[in-house]
Amino acid sequence: MKKSVLFIVYGLVTCMFMLFFWYFGIPEDKQYKWDQNSNGLVGDIEDRYVMVTFQSGLDYWRSIMKGFEDAARTLNVTPEFRGATQYDANEQITVLEQIIAKKPAGIAITAINPEALNVTIDKAINAGIPVVLFDSGAPGSKAYSFLGTDNYSAGAQAARQFGRLANGRGKAAIITQPNQLNHEQRTKGFAETIAAEFPNIRIVKIADGKGSVQGSMQAAKAIIEQYPDVDGFFATQANGGYGIGLALKEMGKEQRKIVIGFDTDKGTLDMVKDGTINVTLAQGTWNMGYWSLMELFHQHHGIVQPDSEDMNGAHPLPPFIDTGITIVTRANVENYYAK
């Protein structure tokens, strides 16, 4: 009789201990409201996360899309890619409006213009759709976060490369895309660093490459005709360095002018390899895509919250993530070709 009573008592104590451990031993932040397996967070394949670009045929987007796809595969969600076919803000707004109407789980967008998309981005936020920006920002919008290059710093790095190659003196020209925030910041970083650190280098021209190889080529030719003694160029966007290189080859001036390019499309890398382009700056493009989707997933599931003055203990979403940049020269160019 006594043994059976003791057995019951021990059993009750054991049960109470297990209940106590279950209730108080598991932290609240581990009691997730979404599925989770031993490999980490897992979403729903029905959840669509959309990436929106412009000039959607550009090779530049491929690495960013790959990062977005890799994150989607990791989280078991569906990635979708949409974009304006041309360099046209109105077309990108139309595409974004169509996406909002379908109420996706989140939107990652690169803004063709720092102001033009603000109203439409805010419309998505107000409809409860998380939005993050990558590559090119729209700081006046309600988008939760920006993931991309510290573009002012990138321009400054380009200036230091130019100054080193020019031995601290000469004339420089910039070929850029006006009215796009990331290019404005790169141009400013280059110009201000040249002025501060290389007072014997003068910027003689800032020209519009129209976001195309042909436009950059024409701009470079016009600058050389106007300033035959220009020592070199800085291109702020992917097509620019290649377009400048083509102009120099056509004019028989390759390897006689300094060229600082941007990004790592194959044409640019080939020109770094043959010496037409001295340096190009490689952005952390895969990072932009991968972490954009990760941020959207976390926001969609309420794991993090947009930054605000009073977070009430919630985990804030980083308002800016610098995805990094590296210098590509003939010495390391082989590392940047697509494998």
Residue 174 shares a structural domain with residue 255: yes
Is 31 within the bounds of a domain? Answer: no
Residue 269 shares a structural domain with residue 237: yes
Q: Is 207 left (phi over 0), alpha (psi -120 to 50) or beta?
A: beta
* 160's tokens: 């230091």
> What tens-digit pLDDT sequence spans the chain (339 residues)?
454 544 454 554 454 545 444 444 444 443 344 444 445 678 889 999 999 999 998 888 999 999 999 999 999 999 999 999 998 999 999 999 999 999 999 999 999 998 999 999 999 999 999 999 999 999 999 999 999 999 999 999 999 999 999 999 999 999 999 988 999 999 999 999 999 999 999 999 999 999 899 999 999 999 999 999 999 999 999 899 999 999 999 999 999 999 999 999 999 999 999 999 999 999 999 999 999 999 999 999 988 877 655 556 567 888 999 999 999 999 999 999 977
Residue 144 shares a structural domain with residue 189: no
Is 116 within the bounds of a domain? Answer: yes
Is 330 within the bounds of a domain? Answer: no
Residue 293 shares a structural domain with residue 193: no
Residue 257 shares a structural domain with residue 161: yes
pTM for the predicted model, two decimal places: 0.77
In the three-class reduction of DSSP (H, G, I as helix; E, B as strand; rest coil), residue 131 is classed as strand
The three state secondary structure string of 76-101 is CCEEEEEECCCCCHHHHHHHHHHHHH
Residue 122 shares a structural domain with residue 240: no
Residue 208 shares a structural domain with residue 292: no
Residue 213 shares a structural domain with residue 96: no
Is 263 within the bounds of a domain? Answer: yes
Number of folded domains that form the chain: 2
Is 239 within the bounds of a domain? Answer: yes
Nearest to 124 by CA among 132, 115, 116, 113: 132
Is 143 within the bounds of a domain? Answer: yes
Domain CATH code at residue 226:
3.40.50.2300
Q: Which domain holds residue 99?
A: 48-149+285-303+318-324
